[in-house]
Amino acid sequence: MTPLGRAGAADRPRTGGPRRRRVRGTAPLPLLLPALIGLVFLVLPLLALLLRAPWRSMPDLLTSSEVWQALRLSLVCATAATAVSLVIGVPLAWLLARVEFPGRGLVRALVTLPLVLPPVVGGVALLMALGRNGVVGRWLDSWFGITLPFTTTGVVLAEAFVAMPFLVISVEGTLRAADPRYEEAATTLGASRFTAFRRVTLPLVAPGIAAGAVLAWARALGEFGATITFAGNFPGRTQTMPLAVYLALQNDPQAAVALSLVLLAVSIAVLAGLRDRWMTAS
Amino acid sequence: MTDDRRTTDDRRATDDRRTTGTDTPRRPGGPGSGAGLDARLVVERGSFRLDVALTAAPGDVVALLGPNGAGKTTALRALAGLVPLSGGHLRLDGAELDRTPPESRPVGVVFQDYLLFPHLSALDNVAFGPRCRGVRKAEARAQAAVWLDRMGLAEHAAAKPRRLSGGQAQRVALARALATHPRLLLLDEPLAALDARTRLDVRAQLRRHLADFEAVALLVTHDPLDAMVLADRLVVMENGRVVQEGTPSHIARHPRTDYIAQLVGLNLYRGRAEGHTVRLEDGPEITTTEDLTGPVFVAFPPGAVTLHRQRPGGSSARNVWRCEVAGLETHGDQIRADLTGELPLAADLTTVAAAELDLRPGPTVWATVKAAQTHASRA
Amino acid sequence: MTRSARRTRRILRATGAGAAALLALSACSSSGAHSSGTSDASASGAASDKVSGEVTVFAAASLKEGFTTLGKEFEKEHPGTKVTFSFGGSDSLAAGITGGAPADVFASASAKTMKTVTDQGDAVGAPVTFVRNRLEIATLPGNPDRLSSLKDLTRSGLKVVLCAKTVPCGAAAQKALDAGGLKLTPASYEEDVKSALNKVVLKEADAALVYRTDVKAAGGKVEGVEFPESAEAVNDYPIARLKNAKNPAAATAFIALVRSAEGRKALGEAGFLSP
C-alpha cells in the first residue's frame, strides 16, 4: 500500500523531466577527426570560391538588371515549387506514413525515384509527360491551350518535381515518429480524420514539415538540369540563377563565380533567417 | 503472529466454498431498459480473442480490472470505436453503435498518458471537442473555461500541457473528455502515469468527479485499490474473458479464482476521520496511524486480520470486532474467511491456523487488526 | 566463340593497350617513337607508321559522328592505338584544357574558343581550320509550318529556340539574324546546340537554328531548311595538338588523318563543309 502524501507537495510540475545535457569535455578522436575532415571537405570549395571571386567586378554585376531578374525569378520559382510540394507532398507523406495499402513500398520507392534520377533525365521525362507533345501535355494543349515548356510555370513544375521527394521523405519520417494516438484522441473528441489531421497532426509535425520545406526550397533554388531541359532558358521568364551561372561559365567563368556567390549569399540569408524564426521555436 | 485458538475443520471449509458463478451485475442496463451501456464485445486479433459482456446503468462507475494482456484496453478501444468489433453488439442508451465511427460516438476517453495536444493550451484542449461538434469558437472556449474552473484549473487555462503537473494534466484530460457530454466515459489507467504521492490526491478528486457524472463511466486499471476506490462495480478480466463481476467488497470476500483472491485481497471502508480514528458510516470505528480529518478510505489486506475464538484481552491490536464466519474458501494454501457482523471483512489464514481455530461457518469469532496495518487516505 | 574466350581476348586487348600507353609514355622522354612491332604499310598519313598507344581527343559535340568514324579508322590504321574522345561544348572543353585536363588534341567549334587555349599557351603551333559548319533551320519533318527563310522564323505564334549567345551556335545565329536585319524573340536560349535540336525532335519547339551537321545527325527526326544569311555566320573548326599531350606522335597522326581526304570525306558525310 502506498503511503499517504501531502496534497500540495504531490502536485509537482513535470515541465522539464530530465533535461538533455550537451556532451561536454573532449570529443573522442575517432569521431572528431572524420568530423573535421568532413567539415573541411564541405567548406573548402566554398572558401575557394570566395578566394577566387572577382571582387572588383562585383559591383557591376550586382547592379546588372539581368542578375536581379534571374535572382528574383529563382526566389519566386523556388518558393512556388515549395508551396506546390507542400500542398501535394504533405498529404502524400501522410498517405505513406498512415494508411496501409498494398504496394505501399513500391509507391514509396517511386516517390523517391526523382532523388536518384539525373535531373536532366527528369526534365526529359517531364517533357514527355507534360510537353506540348507529351502524354498528358498534348491534351492540356488541345483542350485548354496550356503549354508548359518555356514558361515560368514550367520552371516551377520542374523544380517541384526534383524538390518534392525531399519534402515527402522528411515529412513522412516525422509523421512516422509522431504518436498516432493523438489522432485517435482527436477522433474520440468528435474530429473527423481530416480535422484530426489538420488540427492535431499537422501542428504536431510542423517542425518536420518546416525542415522538409526548407530542404525542398534549397534544392529547388539550385535546380538546373530539369529546369533547363523542361522550361528552357529565357531571361526573365525561365532563366533562373543556376542557368545564368551555367551559361556565364561558358565564356566568363569569373562572372559565373560572382553569380554563384550572389546565389549563395541570398540562400544563406534566407535559411539563417528561417532557422532563427521557426526552426528553433519548437 | 497467528492466533493459537484455532481448530481443525478443513473439509468443512472446503464444502462451504462459495460458488460465485451466480454473480450478476448489480444494476440493470440490459437491452430492455434502454438507458446505459449494453455491450458484448468480441474482438479477434491473431490468436487473441476478446469476448466480454458489459452492462451498466447511467451513474454507474465500472472498473475493468485485470493483469496486463487481459484485453482491458482492447475492450476500451472497442467501446470507443478505435478497434472494430469482430462480433457481438454495442448499444448505448438504446442506440446501436457497432458501426458508428469513433468521432460520432457519444463516448469520451481519458487516455492513459492523457494525450493532451501539446500545441494547444489547456483551454483549447478542452474546447477541442465542442469545436469539433460544431460549437463556435468563442462559445466553445467559454464552455471549456467553465469545465476548467470546475476542475479547479481556471488559472492554468492558458498553460500548454507540458507546463502542467501530472495531476493537472489528468484533470484537463478529464475536462476535455467531459466537455463533449459523453454518455459513456472511458478512462484508461487514469492514475498509472502519476507518481505515488500525486496519485492519492488525484484519485480522491477523480472519485468525486466520477460520482458527479450522470452517465456510464468505465475505467480500466490493473490496480485493485484504484478500482475498488473509484468504482462501484468491478469486472475482473483474464485472457480476454470476464472471470468475475460484482461489487468490490463482494469480490474481495468471495474471490472466484486464486488470481482474484490475490489481486482483490483488500478490505476497504469509507468513513469520516478525526485524527487517528475513522468512524465508519454504520457503526464501528477503526484506529489508524494516519492523522486525517474528513471523509477517508481505510483499507487493510485480509492477511492483516487475526482471528480469535475469545475476545482478546491483552492483545496490542487497537481494532477488535465481533464477527461471524459466513463462509470459507480455500485458495492455494490459504483460506479466505468471509466474516459478517460489526464489520464485514475478509481474512486470510493458513489452513493449519484455520484448523487450529476450528473455523467453520456460524460461530462467533473476534477479529483484530493492528493500526499499523491499516491504511487511510482521503476520499 | 565462347563468351569467356571473348572476354579473355578483350582483357588481353585492354592490357595490351595499357602496356602500349606505358611504352608510349617512356617513348616521349627518350625522343622518338617506338615501333610496337606490327608496322602497317597501308597507313595513309605522314609519320604514321610509328604510332601507338592511347590518344585523347577533346572535340566539340557537333563533331561526334564524324570523329567517331575517324577514330575507328585511326585505330584500324594504327593497330595498338586507342582513341579516347571527350565530346562536349567547346567552351567547357577549353576550360578543362586550360584547367589541366589530360588531352592530346583539341578540336573546337569556334576560333574564339580555340583562342582561349592558344592564349594560355596550351597549344603547340598554330591551330588549323579543318572544316566549316553553317547554320540551318531545323524544323519538324515535312516542314508543317512551311518555313523557307530566316524571316519566317519571326512569324508570331511560332516557337523557335536558339542557342544561348554565349555558346558558338548562339553567336552564329545572332550574326545571321543581324545580317538579315531580323529581330527574333525565341522561346528559349538553349545551353547548347544539341538541346536546341532536341526541343524540335521532341516537338516542343517548331524550329531551331542549329548546324547543318546537327540536322544531318538527327536523321529523319528533323528537316533542315537552308537560308542565305547563314553564309554570314560560317563557323570555322580549328584543330590543334596540345602542349601537355602525352602522346604527341599519335596526336599529330590523328590531326593528319582528320585533314586528309579520307577525313574530309567522313566529315563531309556528317554535314561539314570543307575549309
| Chains touching B by CB (3 or more pairs below 8 Å) | A
* Minimum CA–CA partner of C187 in chain A: A150
Q: Tell me whether residue C1 is in a domain.
A: no
Same domain (yes/no): C217, C248: no
Q: Which three cell numbers stand for residue A90?
A: 504533405
Mean pLDDT of C247-274: 91
| Closest approach of A116 to chain C, Cα-based (Å) | 22
- Of B110-124, B344-358, C253-267, the poorest mean pLDDT is in B344-358
Q: What confidence score (pLDDT) does residue C111 get? A: 87
Q: What confidence score (pLDDT) does residue B314 get? A: 66
Mean pLDDT of B215-228: 88
Q: Tell me whether residue C18 is in a domain.
A: yes
Q: What angle do CA C145, C147, C153 make, to 5 degrees?
A: 95
Count Cβ–Cβ pairs < 8 Å, chain A vs chain B. Answer: 112
Across the interface, of B102, B105, B200, the residue whose CB is closest to A2 is: B200
**% of chain A residues with pLDDT over 90:** 49
C–A contact (≥3 CB pairs within 8 Å)?
yes
pLDDT, tens digit, for every residue of B263-275? 777 788 888 888 8
Dist CA A214 CA A203 (whole Å): 17
Q: Which three cell numbers stand for residue C226?
A: 537552308
Binning pLDDT at 50, 70 and 90, where does residue C217 land?
A: confident
pLDDT, tens digit, for every residue of C106-129? 999 888 889 989 998 888 888 999
Look at residue B337 and tell me whether its pLDDT is greater than 50: yes
Same domain (yes/no): C173, C206: yes
Residues in chain A closer than 8 A to C161 (CB atoms): 232
Same domain (yes/no): C117, C18: yes
Q: Is C222 annotated as a binding residue?
A: no
Dist CA C251 CA B91 (whole Å): 93
Q: Which three cell numbers stand for residue B288?
A: 489508524
Q: What confidence score (pLDDT) does residue C206 get? A: 94
Q: Which residues contact A145 (CB under 8 A, 6 or more apart)?
A: none
Q: Nearest to residue B229, comparing CAs of B289, B269, B197, B186?
A: B269
B314 CB within 8 Å of a chain A CB: no
Binning pLDDT at 50, 70 and 90, where does residue B316 land?
A: low
Q: Which three cell numbers stand for residue B378?
A: 482521503
Q: Check CB contact under 8 Å for A228 and C195.
A: yes
Q: Which residues contact B211 (CB under 8 A, 6 or more apart)?
A: B61
Q: Which residues contact A117 (CB under 8 A, 6 or more apart)?
A: A125
- Per DSSP, C221 falls in state G
Residues in chain A closer than 8 A to C92 (CB atoms): 249-250
Q: Is C90 annotated as a binding residue?
A: yes
Q: Tell me whether residue C36 is in a domain.
A: no
Q: Which residues of A37-69 are buried (b: 16+ CB within 10 A; e: fewer)?
A: eeeeeeeeeeeeeeeeebeeeeeebeeeeebeb
- Per DSSP, B48 falls in state E
| Closest approach of A247 to chain C, Cα-based (Å) | 7
| Closest approach of C81 to chain A, Cα-based (Å) | 32
Q: Check CB contact under 8 Å for A232 and C187.
A: yes
DSSP secondary structure, A126-173, as one string = HHHHHSTTSTTHHHIIIII----TTSHHHHHHHHHHHHHHHHHHHHHH
Dist CA C21 CA C15 (whole Å): 10
* Minimum CA–CA partner of A252 in chain C: C166
Dist CA C91 CA C113 (whole Å): 6
Mean pLDDT of C200-207: 92
Can you tell me which residue has the cell 484530426? Answer: A196
Dist CA B130 CA A190 (whole Å): 8
Residues in chain C closer than 8 A to A150 (CB atoms): 159, 187-188, 204-205
Look at residue B49 and tell me whether its pLDDT is greater than 60: yes
Q: Nearest to residue B129, comparing CAs of C19, A256, A188, C50?
A: A188
β-pair type (B37-45, B48-56)? antiparallel
**SS3 for B232-288, per residue?**
CEEEEEECCEEEEEECHHHHHHCCCCHHHHHHCCCEEEEEEEEEEEEEECCCCEEEE
Q: Is B42 helix (H, G, I), strand (E, B) or coil?
A: strand
Same domain (yes/no): C220, C252: no
If you average pLDDT over every residue of chain C, what do you get?
82
- Of B143-152, B331-340, C218-227, the poorest mean pLDDT is in B331-340
Binning pLDDT at 50, 70 and 90, where does residue B47 land?
A: confident
Residues in chain B closer than 8 A to A1 (CB atoms): 225, 299, 301, 375
Q: Which three cell numbers stand for residue A125?
A: 521525362
Look at residue C261 and tell me whether its pLDDT is greater than 80: yes
Dist CA B327 CA B323 (whole Å): 12
Can you tell me which residue has the cell 561536454? Answer: A24
Contact A190, B132 (CB under 8 A): yes
Q: What angle do CA C173, C179, C185 make, to 5 degrees?
A: 50
Same domain (yes/no): C139, C212: yes
Q: What confidence score (pLDDT) does residue A11 get? A: 44
Q: What confidence score (pLDDT) does residue B31 get? A: 43
Q: Nearest to residue A154, comparing CAs of A142, A168, A137, A135?
A: A137
B344 CB within 8 Å of a chain A CB: no
| Chains touching C by CB (3 or more pairs below 8 Å) | A
- Per DSSP, C273 falls in state B
Dist CA B72 CA B65 (whole Å): 7
Binning pLDDT at 50, 70 and 90, where does residue C31 land?
A: very low
Q: Which three cell numbers stand for residue A145?
A: 491551350
Q: Which three cell numbers stand for residue C107?
A: 578540336
φ, ψ at B260 (rounded to 5°): -65, -40
Mean pLDDT of B13-35: 43
Residues in chain B closer than 8 A to A193 (CB atoms): 103
Mean pLDDT of C244-273: 90
Q: Which residues contact B33 (CB under 8 A, 6 or more apart)?
A: B57
Q: Which residues of chain A fall below pLDDT 50?
A: 1-20, 281-282
Q: What confidence score (pLDDT) does residue A153 get? A: 94
E strand or H helix at B53, and its extent? strand B48-56
Contact A131, A148 (CB under 8 A): yes
Across the interface, of B82, B115, B162, the residue whose CB is closest to A15 is: B162
CATH number of the domain to which C247 belongs: 3.40.190.10
Q: Which domain holds residue C255?
A: 11-26+47-132+236-269
CA distances from C204 to A280, B187, C167, C207 (A): 46, 64, 21, 9
Q: Is C193 annotated as a binding residue?
A: yes
Residues in chain A closer than 8 A to B105 (CB atoms): 188
Dist CA A123 CA A131 (whole Å): 10
Q: Which residues contact C170 (CB under 8 A, 6 or more apart)?
A: C162, C163, C164, C189
Q: What confidence score (pLDDT) does residue C149 get? A: 92
Same domain (yes/no): C197, C96: no
B128 CB within 8 Å of a chain A CB: yes
Look at residue C4 and tell me whether its pLDDT is greater than 90: no
- Of A2-16, B209-223, C216-230, the poorest mean pLDDT is in A2-16
Class of A59-110+118-279 per CATH?
Answer: mainly alpha
Look at residue B199 and tell me whether its pLDDT is greater than 60: yes
User: Could you give the domains of chain B?
Assistant: 10-19+268-378 (2.40.50.100), 27-246 (3.40.50.300)
φ, ψ at A3 (rounded to 5°): -70, 155
Q: Check CB contact under 8 Å for A239 and C95.
A: no
pLDDT, tens digit, for every residue of B139-165? 999 999 999 999 899 999 999 999 999
Please tell me the total count of domains within chain C.
2
Left, alpha or beta for C100 (phi > 0: left; psi -120 to 50: alpha)? left
Q: Tell me whether residue C2 is in a domain.
A: no
* Minimum CA–CA partner of A202 in chain B: B119
Q: What confidence score (pLDDT) does residue B11 get? A: 34
Beta bridge partners of C273: C132
Q: Which three cell numbers stand for residue C138?
A: 531545323
Whole-structure pTM value: 0.71
Same domain (yes/no): C20, C156: no
Beta bridge partners of B52: B41
C-alpha torsion sign, points B198, B203, B209, B210: positive
pLDDT, tens digit, for every residue of B162-186? 999 988 999 999 999 999 999 999 9
| Closest approach of B310 to chain A, Cα-based (Å) | 30
Q: Is B321 helix (H, G, I), strand (E, B) or coil?
A: strand
Dist CA B377 CA A268 (whole Å): 62
Look at residue C14 and tell me whether its pLDDT is greater than 50: no
Across the interface, of B82, B120, B197, the residue whose CB is closest to A5 is: B197
Q: Is C215 annotated as a binding residue?
A: no
pLDDT, tens digit, for every residue of C130-144? 999 889 999 999 999
Mutate to test the interface with C, among A247, A249, A254, A259 (most CBs of C within 10 A): A247
Q: Tell me whether residue C6 is in a domain.
A: no
Binning pLDDT at 50, 70 and 90, where does residue C41 land?
A: very low
Dist CA B144 CA B173 (whole Å): 12
Same domain (yes/no): C127, C15: yes
Across the interface, of C91, C159, C188, the residue whose CB is closest to A251 is: C91
Q: What confidence score (pLDDT) does residue C192 get? A: 84
pLDDT, tens digit, for every residue of C53-73? 899 999 988 888 889 999 999
